[in-house]
Each structure stands twice: as structure tokens, then as C-alpha cells.
């Protein structure tokens, strides 16, 4: 799974659960709605064939003076498990915090992946053709 696939899944989830509220990347200027942005992405090798992918996202409500009372619970419910191209991914950590008097939600997704070793080439079918045997006498 790529970081772009995960980011797209978060955008799709926000659209599905908050269809009346605009959502967009934090890099897009706006005054209303919900923004999301990737804070960090990390790939760490545990063993030669095992890796850990960690992603941290920030979700913000753009009007801090008009936050719906149910928004925190609805965001937790929507982002706890997201669908990334047919595979469900569950957040490993979700929390609200305040930065410069503006609330934000931090969501962390951690996945373990295993590098699949290439399988040996399978036997191929041999084709056998009868050949004429030429016999010579001396």
C-alpha cells in the first residue's frame, strides 16, 4: 500500500461520512470544512523480509469557533477503520489535541508487511516430437 492510496482512502472516507461538508487537502486554501494532511510517513525494516509502515495524518475543522458538538465522535467513527482499495485498515492511535488554540485530530495507521520471496520457476511442459532415425550400414 502506498502513501497516496492511504491519503486517497482518507479523503474518500471523509466524503462518504461528511457528504454535506467540504473536505480537501490542507494545502488547498479554504475557510470552511475539513482539511487533512500527511504529517509523516515512515518505512522501517524489522527483519530482512518484514517491514513496518507508519503514517500520521492531521484532520482539522477549519472554523474553530463553530465546531459541531458531534464532530469528534463522528471523526473517530469514520476514521477508525478505512477501506484502502478493498482492504480495511484500522487506526493504531487517534487523539484530539490543540495547537495554537485550534483543535486537531491526529490519526495514525501502522501496517506490517512481509516481502514475499519469489517462488521457484514452475516446470514447463516439454514438447516431444518424433524424429526419423537414419540408419547407415558400413
**pLDDT per residue as tens digits for the range 70-127:** 888 999 999 999 999 888 999 999 998 877 777 889 999 998 887 776 665 666 666 6
Task: Give a yes or no: residue 125 inside a domain.
Answer: no
Residue 39 domain boundaries = 3-114
**pLDDT per residue as tens digits for the range 26-41:** 888 777 889 999 999 9
pLDDT reported for residue 33: 86
Task: Give a yes or no: residue 9 inside a domain.
Answer: yes
Read off the CATH number of the domain in which 102 is found.
3.30.2000.10
Judge contact between 103 and 67, C-beta under 8 A.
Answer: yes
Taking residue 10's Cβ as centre, other Cβ atoms within 10 Å add up to 23
Judge contact between 3 and 41, C-beta under 8 A.
Answer: yes
For residue 32, the 8-state DSSP code is S
Amino acid at each position: 500500500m502506498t502513501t497516496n492510496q492511504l491519503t486517497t482512502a482518507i479523503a474518500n472516507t471523509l466524503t462518504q461520512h461528511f457528504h454535506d461538508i467540504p473536505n480537501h487537502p490542507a494545502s488547498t486554501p479554504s475557510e470552511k470544512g475539513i482539511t487533512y494532511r500527511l504529517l509523516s510517513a515512515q518505512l522501517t525494516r524489522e527483519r530482512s523480509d518484514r517491514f513496518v509502515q507508519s503514517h500520521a495524518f492531521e484532520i482539522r475543522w477549519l472554523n474553530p469557533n463553530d465546531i459541531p458538538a458531534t464532530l469528534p465522535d463522528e471523526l473517530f467513527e469514520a476514521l477508525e477503520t478505512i477501506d484502502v482499495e478493498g482492504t480495511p485498515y484500522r487506526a493504531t492511535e487517534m487523539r484530539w489535541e490543540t495547537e495554537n488554540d485550534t483543535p486537531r485530530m491526529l490519526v495514525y495507521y501502522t501496517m506490517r508487511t512481509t516481502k514475499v520471496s519469489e517462488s521457484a520457476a514452475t516446470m514447463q511442459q516439454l514438447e516431444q516430437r518424433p524424429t526419423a532415425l537414419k540408419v547407415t550400414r558400413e
